[in-house]
Amino acid sequence: MLAESLALSAVLFTIGAIGVLTRRNAIMIFMCVELMLNAVNLTFVAVSKVYGMAGQVFVFFVMTVAAAEAAVGLAIIIAVFRHRQTVNLENINLLKG
Amino acid sequence: MPNFFYEVHFYLFGLLAIGSSIAFVTRKSPVAAVLWLVVTMFCLAALYALLEAHFIAVIQVLVYAGAIMVVFLFVIMLLNLGHPAEIADIRGKWGRLAAGLLGLALFAQVMALAGKRLPQPFTPGSGYDPDAVRDLGAIGSVAQPLFNEYLLAFELTSIVLLVAIVGAVVLGRRRRVDAR
């Protein structure tokens, strides 16, 4: 089942990457990044079945960092929305030269 | 030993995960997208359980599907983004072209790798104990390395969480109008 898990994880990662590139809504892009993190977690779990428990410990850390990232990222999105009244990345171009 | 029942469920949840993640990426409404992502998370939790990572499966449902997705849903409803935006959310011709090319490249890599087997030095590591789950239980077998080899990383995680809490509160705070 290891090879199937790795292939599934690669497919999910690809779908997440395509989502990041095709969407303009900041929250949707953020959720696509979460999907990519989940795909990597599946790789860790699948490998941990062959290699040892360290993979599952890494999944634990990835989930913690993902939770912290979601909290800070969504706070940033709320702060940006207060200024610009939008979360569409086409309209948030203050740093564009 | 993987039997027929096991394989059927493995492929079932794998295909469900792919289907729901495709539905998630293509939805126009953010609320529908969040709910499809929750379906993907549940399928991944089932796969973790099938891969004998029971503790991770429970954490996946509690933390990801439970906590993180609720925060996303809460922000979407707080900012009133539930209905599709007036400007198209999905990028135009060039964005789709770039995404399609990247998808094809990644998929080609997967297919190229599928032809080969895993590299030969891929043998169990020094800390691998095939009976760990049976002897220590689902939680104990994860806790054993977590509180021995990775204790420092575990403690540093608390600092990451503290910084995230302070950062979220500072960023989300509404500034007083009379301050300026």
Residues B94-117 have pLDDT tens digits of: 777 888 888 888 778 777 776 665
The proportion of chain B whose per-residue pLDDT surpasses 90, expressed as a percent, equals: 36
Q: Is the ipTM of this complex over 0.95?
A: no
For residue B169, the distance in angstroms to the closest alpha carbon of chain A comes to 8
Give the count of alpha carbons within 13 A of A73, CB side only. 18
Phi/psi of residue A23, each to 5°?
A: -95, 160
Of the candidates A1, A10, A23, which has its C-beta nearest B89's C-beta? A23
Q: What is the mean pLDDT of residues A70-97?
A: 84
Predicted pLDDT at B138: 80
Say whether pLDDT at B15 is over 90.
yes
Q: Model confidence at B12, in pLDDT bands (50, 70, 90)?
A: very high
Say whether pLDDT at B127 is over 70.
no
Q: Which domains does chain A have, with CATH numbers?
A: 2-84 (1.10.287.3510)
Average pLDDT, chain B: 82
Predicted pLDDT at B164: 94
Residue A97 burial (CB count, 10 A):
3
User: Nearest residue on chain A to B155, judged by CA atoms?
Assistant: A61
Contact A12 B21 (CB under 8 A): yes
Restricting to A residues 36-55, those with a Cβ less than 8 Å away from any Cβ of B are: 38, 41-42, 45-46, 48-54
Q: How many A×B Cβ pairs under 8 Å? A: 225
Predicted pLDDT at B3: 81
Q: Lowest mean pLDDT: which of A37-51, A83-97, B13-27?
A: A83-97
A74 vs B: CB within 8 A: yes
User: Nearest residue on chain B to A83, judged by CA atoms?
Assistant: B174
Say whether pLDDT at A7 is over 70.
yes
The proportion of chain B whose per-residue pLDDT surpasses 70, expressed as a percent, equals: 79
User: Nearest residue on chain A to B149, judged by CA atoms?
Assistant: A54
Kindly state the DSSP code that residue B178 receives in the 8-state scheme: G
